[in-house]
Structure 1
Amino acid sequence: MHHKHYLDKRSVPFISELLVKHYLQHPGYTEIVVICIGTNRYSGDSLGPLVGSRLFERLEGNPNVHIYGTLDKPVHALNLQKTLTAIAGKHSRAYIIAVDACLGQYYKIGTLQLVEEPLQPGASLNKQLPPIGHIHIKGIINNYGPLNHKVLEHTSLTFVQEMSAVISRILVKSCQDIIPRLASKQLPGGQVPSRLPAGN
């Protein structure tokens, strides 16, 4: 796990460089999928959809990057499995990056975490949801405690928006660096790269 506070000016180059290095350890993917988990119903849980909407504005029309989970079309517990099934069918050779908000210790609030393994969404709320992606970014938006639903409802939206802006810059830079390194649609001999779990 790697981490930087979102206000640290080094957070964008530091985390994006690590993300690109992770991709280069597993080359052979032909496209990028970013899955932004969350809902627009609670300010604290809107980090993912806010990131997704920002990415959609910046990367719309790019044939190499596909964004799932925006404010208009969020990806959450109720439609997650359906979304992962659709992604597995449409993007079988995609490098998958997941984004989600999380709760943590109070002194870690504002920290961005890059974790080089699939995301386990809903862990703070004790939800059993399928793992997502090859790597993921989490933003610690508030303090973990006994009333986590209330915490999500009463998190500052301005704070979450600021954090989403930094995460989106990290991902735009990462995608721009990865795109030239993507494999062609056809690998020699019809090979398919190995994949980490993506919930399918």
Structure 2
Amino acid sequence: MKTNMMHHSHYLDKKSVVYLSDALTKHYYKHPEYTEIVIVCIGTNRYSGDSLGPMVGSRLLERLEGHHRVHIFGTLDKPVHALNLQKTLSHIAQKHSRAYVIAVDACLGQYFKIGTLQVVEEPLQPGVSLDKQLPPIGHVHIKGIVNNFSPLNHKVLEHTSLTFVQDMSAVVSRILVKVSQDIVPGLVQKQASMDQASDSLSSSS
């Protein structure tokens, strides 16, 4: 039976950026057939606890905007959430069918795991903490445990420290910027060889 790998590190651990970005990059190179990267940051700007994804998306947009090989969905201005997730996934399937998709989301967990970042080598199942049935997303996902799981998860998300989530989002965005920097040269190289093959086909026909 196949087990899905999970890598985890506390966001305050100085090695977390290198360790988790390396895990993501290694996962990508297991199936290096993609020509671009899509990062989908799930969440809303209405609850502090559920704003990790959009905060990460906004930070990434500042760092990676205009990069034609990396596409960001889900920011504080334009969040990706339960109401528009299906539409976003359809757009990605149409416009970025050969993209390596990384999903980002906040989650609730056991008290002693708060602050932990997890890279999980499987699609994200968004909305699980709130009992929502939403479509899975991504080839891999990264999530941050922002607070304690409880019977009143909506209330927990409302009363999560915004400063804590901001600090966590800074680390997640650094991880994803490093992953993009590590993967993109391979994507460009691959695209160039594909373009070359296409040109030779055109000239021979």
State the TM-score, normalized to the length of structure 1.
0.93
Q: How does 1:100-179 map to 2 (within 5 A)?
A: 100-179=105-184
> How far, CA to CA, are the matches of 1:107 and 1:187 in structure 2?
50
The count of corresponding residues between Structure 1 and Structure 2 is 190
Does 1:184 find its partner at 2:204?
no
Q: Note the C-alpha offset of 1:189.
A: 8.6
> Which of these residues, 16, 23, 30, is aligned with residue 35 of structure 2?
30
- Counterpart of 1:13 (choices 12, 15, 18) is 18
Q: Is the counterpart of residue 41 in structure 1 residue 41 in structure 2?
A: no
Q: 2 CA distance for matches of 1:180 and 1:40? A: 33
Deviations 1:113-170 (A, max 9, x none): 0000000000001100000010000000000000000000000000000000000000
Deviations 1:56-109 (A, max 9, x none): 000001000000000000000000000000010000100000000000000000
Alignment pair present for 1:61 and 2:100: no
The runs of 4+ residues in structure 1 deviating greater than 2 Å are: 185-190
Distance of 1:155 and 1:188 partners within structure 2:
51
| Paired residue type of 1:68 | F
Aligned residue type for 1:184: Q
d(CA) in 2 for partners of 1:19, 1:2: 9
Relative to structure 1, the CA distance from residue 133 to residue 187 in structure 2 (aligned partners, 3 Å threshold; closer, same or farther) is farther
Amino acid in the other structure paired with 1:7: L
Query: Counterpart of 1:25 in 2: which secondary structure?
Result: coil
Over the residues paired in the alignment, what is the CA RMSD in angstroms? 1.4
Equivalent-residue separation in structure 1 for 2:43 and 2:9 (angstroms): 22
> Shift of residue 187 of structure 1?
8.0
Match of 2:79 among 68, 71, 74: 74
Matches of 1:16 and 1:188, distance apart in 2: 31
Take 2:133 and 2:196, find their aligned partners in 1: how far apart are those partners? 39
Cα 1:173–1:14 shift into 2, 3 Å: same
Distance 2:47 2:30 in 1: 36
Aligned equivalents of 2:196 and 2:144: distance in 1? 39
The CA distance in 2 between the partners of 1:52 and 1:66, in whole Å, is: 10
Provide the rounded CA distance (Å) in 1 between the counterparts of 2:47 and 2:196.
47
Bigger fraction of residues in helix:
2
Q: CA deviation at 1:188?
A: 9.6
Distance 2:51 2:26 in 1: 28
Instruction: Give 2:104's aligned residue.
Output: 99
Give the alignment's TM-score, normalised by structure 2: 0.90
